[in-house]
């Protein structure tokens, strides 16, 4: 595999990041038997709003964006959202690199994120990075999310 670079995303990257997001969340939609999940319904204007309020990183291989993560800070907590890596590039340490880099961008006491309760692979991944489950919230009859935090 060629060298992976983790870079700060620009506004011009957002449409590609949104495309990758929709590809990555297809698997979750199948797992929950619904396409009615926010990452699949999100539109570019919403992503632009998130971009203006936080930090987006991108993983790049051969000048092609293959992953991303976004976050924002509120008081002493950094909220991490939508860690995505194209399926062909998963399980190669790219998600870990994105998480490590986004955590370096913030001088906070706590990081928080959430993932679907059926996304056992994601939960295990975040636990390896030091995150622990602290809450669960039911969004619908078929979808619940788990909130995870890392105290630093």
Structure tokens of 25?
Answer: 């969340």
Go through the domains of the chain in sequence order and give each one's CATH number. Answer: 4-151 (3.40.630.30)
pLDDT, tens digit, 9 for 90 and up, residues 50-107: 999 999 999 999 999 999 999 999 999 999 999 999 999 999 999 999 999 999 999 9
Of 1-5, 9-13, 61-65, 73-77, which range is least confident? 1-5
- Output the CA torsion sign for 37, 39, 44, 45: positive
- Output the pTM of the full model: 0.93
Give 20: exposed, middle or buried? Use CB within 10 Å, 0-12, 13-18, 19+. buried
| Phi, psi dihedral angles at 11 (to 5 degrees) | -60, -30
Taking 70 as the threshold, does the pLDDT of residue 1 lie above it? Answer: no
Residue 30 backbone zone (phi > 0: left; psi -120 to 50: alpha; other: beta): alpha
User: Where is 128: in which H helix or E strand?
Assistant: helix 120-128
| Phi, psi dihedral angles at 81 (to 5 degrees) | -130, 150
Q: What one-character-per-residue DSSP string does 22-77 give? A: HHHHHHHHHHHT-S--HHHH--HHHHHHHHHHSEEEEEEETTEEEEEEEEEEETTE
């Amino acid at each position: 595999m060629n060298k992976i670079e983790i870079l700060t995303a620009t506004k011009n990257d957002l449409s590609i990041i949104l495309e990758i997001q929709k590809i990555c969340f297809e698997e979750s939609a199948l797992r929950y038997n619904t396409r009615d999940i926010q990452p699949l319904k999100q539109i570019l204007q919403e992503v632009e709003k998130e971009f203006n309020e936080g930090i987006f990183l991108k993983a790049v291989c051969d000048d092609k964006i293959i992953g991303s993560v976004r976050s924002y800070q509120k008081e002493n907590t950094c909220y991490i959202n939508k860690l995505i890596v194209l399926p062909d590039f998963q399980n190669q340490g790219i998600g870990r690199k994105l998480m490590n880099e986004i955590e370096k961008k913030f001088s906070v006491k706590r990081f928080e994120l959430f993932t679907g309760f059926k996304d056992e692979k994601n939960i295990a991944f975040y636990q390896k990075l030091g995150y622990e489950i602290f809450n669960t919230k039911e969004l619908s009859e078929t979808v619940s999310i788990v909130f995870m935090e890392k105290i630093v």
